[in-house]
Amino acid sequence: MELLKKKSLWLGVLLLLILGGATLFVLHKELDGQDIAGILKNADIAWIMAAICAMGIYTIADGINISRCLKLAGYNITFMQMLKYSLAGFFFSSITPSSTGGQPGQLYFMAKDKLKISHSAFTLLCALLSFQCAVVFLGLIGVICSSGEVFKLEGKFAYVFPIGFALNLIVIAFLFCILFSRKITNFFIGIGLWFLNLRKATPVKKIEFLRSLAAYRKAAGLLSKNKFVFVKMLLTSLTQIMFFHSITFFCARSIGCTSLDWFTVLRTQASIFISVSSLPLPGAAGVTEYGYALFYANLIPQELLASVMLLSRFCSFVLPLAASGLGLVLLTVKPKKQSDRP
């Protein structure tokens, strides 16, 4: 028992070092050579605070969707737990290519809170499906209202946007299949059992594996019987992403760009986001900035474009990354009350 406690302590210390090191590395890379302080000094603080609040709403909305699915599975999680899972998703998504680290990071913290892996996985897949559906819906509106500009790009980066768009559609189709198709679930059961046989797993391990999948299917059945829960998740995701896309509008207004209207920013950001969110780059680094330069060239005065882009990146990525890293460190050092089962 003492050995397990020491092992847990060292794992906690290692996690804190990883969180701190990754945060500092990405922040240094993002801020290197950028005069963010100078831009903030000349910006209207009220609009900057609006951008920060929009990002806060984005984070809390993500946690609300996670808590809804966990409630279906029978868990009563606290607000701080909800916030921890949301922060973990943002942090690990931001530092890994194609945002692939978000769900594994959330699963880790859920496992530490004694949530069943089957329930946690189902919850995160449902939240991801809701998010992707909202992204595609707003992205389609953006593409239609911009007369398909996203598909008319030329040059060496022209392929980026159509591929990103297609990848989002593939993700949605895949999630629907693994969440609600019994045949697909049975296919993964077969793969899992084959892998366990390859590893010469004991009968007990195989039974545990099948029990986890049975719990997963039970949770999927609960969602099918409570479709209104998923409708509420979709509405929450739409609100979440609309606030996220509004950050550029707030940042533009903060430095005096009054010619830009909110809906134009919404459709433009939706087009950019659906194009770059699935690409294999941490935080879609580089491609997002390229998208700004392309899509806002005729919308924002040239002398203000770089400042708006840097402010938006600061409020939607740099500052939240630092906050999520710090938040996870604090929540790891001072763990809250574990979730209760009714």
In the beta sheet, which residues pair with residue 137? none
Q: Compute the distance between CA of residue 268 and CA of residue 262 in angstroms, rounded to an integer.
A: 10
Q: Is 314 helix (H, G, I), strand (E, B) or coil?
A: helix
Give the distance from CA 95 to its chain's centroid: 11
C-alpha to C-alpha distances, 58 to 33, 119, 242, nearest whole angstrom: 28, 23, 9
Candidate from 70-84, 217-231, 302-316 with smallest mean pLDDT: 217-231
Q: How many domains does the chain have?
A: 1
Q: Tell me the per-residue pLDDT of 179-226, one tens digit each, with 9 for 90 and over.
A: 666 666 666 667 766 776 776 666 666 556 556 656 556 666 666 677
> Is the residue at 207 inside a domain?
yes
Classify residue 46: in a domain, yes or no. Answer: yes
**318 to each of 24, 259, 312, 323, how far by Cα in Å?**
10, 26, 9, 9
Q: Any idea which of 57-61, 184-188, 328-332 has the lowest mean pLDDT?
A: 184-188
Cβ–Cβ under 8 Å, residues 316 and 247: yes
DSSP string, 216-230: HHHHHHHHHHTHHHH
Do the domain assignments include residue 136? yes
**Separation in Å, CA 326 to CA 19, 172, 331, 333:** 8, 32, 9, 11
Q: 178: buried, middle or exposed (CB in 10 Å: 19+, 13-18, 0-12)?
A: middle
pLDDT bin (cut points 50, 70, 90) of residue 66 is very high
Whether residue 304 lies inside any domain: the answer is: yes
Q: Position 257: which residue type?
A: C
pTM, to two decimals: 0.78
State the Cα–Cα distance between residues 136 and 166, nearest whole angstrom: 10
Residues 265-292 have a mean pLDDT of: 65
Asked whether the beta carbons of 138 and 270 are under 8 A apart, the reply is yes
Task: Give Dmax (Cα) for the chain.
Answer: 68
Cα(53)–Cα(58) distance, rounded to whole angstroms? 9
Residue 43 has pLDDT above 80, yes or no: yes
- Higher-scoring residue by pLDDT: 338, 173: 173
Tell me, yes or no, whether 26 lies in a domain. Answer: no
114 Ramachandran zone, left/alpha/beta (phi>0; psi -120 to 50): left
Residue 175 lies in a domain: yes
Cβ atoms of 69 and 85 within 8 Å: the answer is no
Question: Is the confidence at residue 235, as pLDDT, over 90?
Answer: yes
**224: how many CB neighbours lie within 10 A of its CB?**
11
Domain containing residue 133:
39-333
pLDDT digits (tens, 9 = 90+) for 80-138: 999 999 999 888 887 776 666 778 888 888 988 888 887 888 888 888 888 888 988 88
> Position 341: which residue type?
R
Name every residue whose Cβ is closer than 8 Å to that of residue 255 and which is 6 or more positions away in sequence: 39, 42, 43, 44, 304, 307, 308, 311
Nearest to 296 by CA among 243, 259, 255: 259
Residue 342 lies in a domain: no
Give me Rg for the CA atoms of the chain: 21
Please state, for a pLDDT cut of 90, what percent of the chain lies above it: 17
How confident is the prediction for the chain on average, in pLDDT? 76
Query: Does a structural domain hold residue 281?
Result: yes
